[in-house]
Structure 1
Amino acid sequence: MKQVSTLFLKIAVILIGIPVLALCIFLVPELGKLATKLLPGFASIKYLVSIVFYASAIPFYFALYQAFKLLRYIDKNIAFSELSVKALKNIKYCAITISCLHVLVLPLFYLFAEKDDAPGVIFVGMVVPFASMVIAVFAAVLQKLLKEAIDIKSENDLTV
Structure 2
Amino acid sequence: MKIATTLFLKIAVVLMAIPVLALCIFLVPELGKVAVELVPSYPSLKYIVSIIFYASSIPFYFALYQAFQLLRYIDRNKAFSELSVKSLKKIKYCAIIISILHVLALPLFYLFAEMDDAPGVIFVGMLVPFASMVIAVFAAVLQRLLQEAVEIKSENDLVV
Alignment of 1:47-58 (within 5 A): 47-58=47-58
Give structure 1 regions of 4+ aligned residues with deviation exceeding 6 angstroms.
none
The corresponding residue for 1:6 is 6
The corresponding residue for 2:96 is 96
Fraction of identical pairs, as percent:
80
Question: Cα RMSD between the aligned structures?
Answer: 0.5
Q: Distance in 1 between matches of 2:23 and 2:118?
A: 23
* 1:19-52 deviation digits (Å, cap 9, x = unpaired): 1000000000000000000000011000000000
* Cα distance, 1:18 vs structure 2: 0.4
SS of residue in 2 equivalent to 1:126: helix
The corresponding residue for 2:80 is 80
* Cα distance, 1:157 vs structure 2: 1.5
Q: Distance in 2 between matches of 1:158 and 1:57?
A: 43
Q: Distance in 1 between matches of 2:116 and 2:23?
A: 23
TM-score normalised by length of structure 2: 0.99
The corresponding residue for 2:158 is 158
Structure 2 unpaired stretches of 5+ = none
Q: Distance in 2 between matches of 1:15 and 1:99?
A: 21
The number of equivalent residue pairs is 160
Q: Distance in 2 between matches of 1:18 and 1:118?
A: 29
The corresponding residue for 1:108 is 108
